């Protein structure tokens, strides 16, 4: 049985361990409505127009229409297993992915969801999803799993990923996706690997980061350069072509789990309440930790560039940010 071996999965104890290929077949069960849904472990968040949609453990989907001040649970989610990634192309249409290779779609801004894909015999989780438009999307996950669609998710095609330099096969866990403004797409992975695709996920090249640990998250900055976060306080800055990556000096050894960008404003968050901010497009950063030290799992910047945070304990209240 193989499990995701990383600092993040060890620290976020609320996350379920990855099941073996011999796990019992899945029966889709509706996610339960709960008065404590805002306290569930949240794993990703995205903007759907002016609405925030966050996904997490037990199929919890939270919606906020007031910049993260208050949340309500989605009306109908047909799966109660963990949801790990979410992507929207406009205020209505979005996708979420998770365990059992699940891909869900919504056409009403996240209130109701339908299953597009589910692998009921093998729990090969998907960890991230990105849609370029209403038709073209990419999802990635365990053991170099890459899925692409050109019809809005009605059909998904598994892409064969070539082995990274010096390896005999591609067996990386692909952890995150982030995109630039010119159709370039990046995937963060184990062993310091950062991948780039220029054809909507069908073919990938490996960028040299000079790092050997797991990379969790990243973003394209306003000047087109890349900021990538990973284990043990790793924050790397380099060019879009994967050249000249350098490690930014952080005092913390807490893993970086999420990076958000809004113009010149940059926010990276991580375990133990780590928050790293830049107001000049990544030229310089200020490091701090949240007061309660809760492990942060996802972050957005609102319309006033204030942080909207999510954690292993759920939504981070406005006054605690």
pLDDT, tens digit (0-9, with 9 covering 90-100), for 139-174: 999 999 999 999 999 999 999 999 988 888 888 999
Domain ranges of the chain: 40-207, 231-321
What superfamily in CATH does domain 40-207 come from? YVTN repeat-like/Quinoprotein amine dehydrogenase (2.130.10.10)
**Mean pLDDT, residues 244-252:** 92
Q: What's residue 59's pLDDT? A: 97
CB 290 within 8 A of CB 275: yes
Q: Per-residue pLDDT for 10 more than 50?
A: no
Are the C-beta atoms of residues 126 and 141 closer than 8 Å to each other?
Answer: yes
Residue 161: Cβ-neighbour burial (10 angstroms; 0-12, 13-18, 19+): buried
Q: Given a cut of 60, is residue 266 above it in pLDDT?
A: yes
pLDDT of residue 171: 87
Mean pLDDT of 79-94: 97
Lowest mean pLDDT among 207-211, 239-243, 267-271: 239-243
What sections of the chain are H helices per DSSP?
Answer: 7-11
DSSP state of 76: B
Is residue 207 a contact partner of residue 197, using CB atoms and an 8 Å limit? no
Sheet holding 103-106, edge to edge: 83-88, 94-98, 103-106, 114-117
Task: Give the residues across from 87 on adjacent strands.
Answer: 95
How many Å apart are CA 51 and CA 45, to the nearest integer? 10
SS3 104: strand
Least confident of 58-62, 241-245, 252-256: 241-245
Whether the per-residue pLDDT at 16 is higher than 80: the answer is no
* Cβ atoms < 10 Å from Cβ of 273: 21
Q: How far is CA 5 from CA 109, 120, 172, 187, 191, in A?
A: 34, 24, 12, 18, 11
């Amino acid at each position: 049985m193989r499990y995701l071996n990383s600092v993040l999965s060890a620290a976020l104890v609320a996350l379920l361990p990855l099941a073996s290929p011999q796990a019992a077949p899945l029966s889709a069960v509706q996610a339960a409505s709960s008065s404590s849904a805002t306290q569930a472990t949240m794993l990703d968040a995205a903007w759907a127009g002016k609405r925030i949609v966050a996904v997490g453990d037990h199929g919890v989907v939270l919606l906020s229409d007031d910049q993260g001040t208050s949340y309500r649970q989605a009306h109908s989610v047909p799966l109660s297993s963990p949801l790990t990634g979410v992507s929207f192309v406009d205020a209505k249409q979005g996708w979420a992915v998770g365990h059992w290779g699940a891909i869900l779609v919504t056409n009403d801004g996240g209130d109701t969801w339908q299953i597009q894909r589910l692998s009921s015999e093998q729990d090969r989780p998907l960890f991230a999803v990105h849609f370029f438009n209403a038709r073209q999307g990419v999802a990635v996950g365990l053991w170099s799993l890459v899925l692409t669609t050109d019809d809005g998710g009605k059909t998904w095609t598994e892409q064969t990923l070539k082995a990274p330099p010096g390896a005999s096969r591609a067996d990386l866990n692909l952890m995150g996706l982030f995109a630039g403004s010119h159709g370039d797409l990046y995937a963060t992975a184990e062993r310091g690997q950062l991948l780039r695709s220029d054809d909507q996920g069908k073919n990938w090249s490996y960028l040299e980061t000079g790092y050997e640990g797991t990379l969790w998250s990243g973003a394209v900055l306003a000047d087109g350069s890349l900021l990538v976060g990973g284990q043990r306080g790793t924050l790397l800055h380099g060019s879009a072509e994967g050249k000249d990556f350098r490690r930014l000096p952080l005092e913390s050894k807490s893993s970086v789990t999420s990076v958000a960008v809004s113009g010149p404003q940059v926010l990276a968050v991580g375990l133990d309440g780590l928050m790293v901010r830049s107001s000049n497009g990544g030229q310089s950063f200020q490091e701090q930790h949240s007061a309660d030290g809760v492990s942060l799992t996802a972050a957005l910047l609102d319309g006033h560039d204030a942080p909207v945070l999510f954690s292993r304990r759920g939504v981070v209240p406005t006054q605690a940010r």
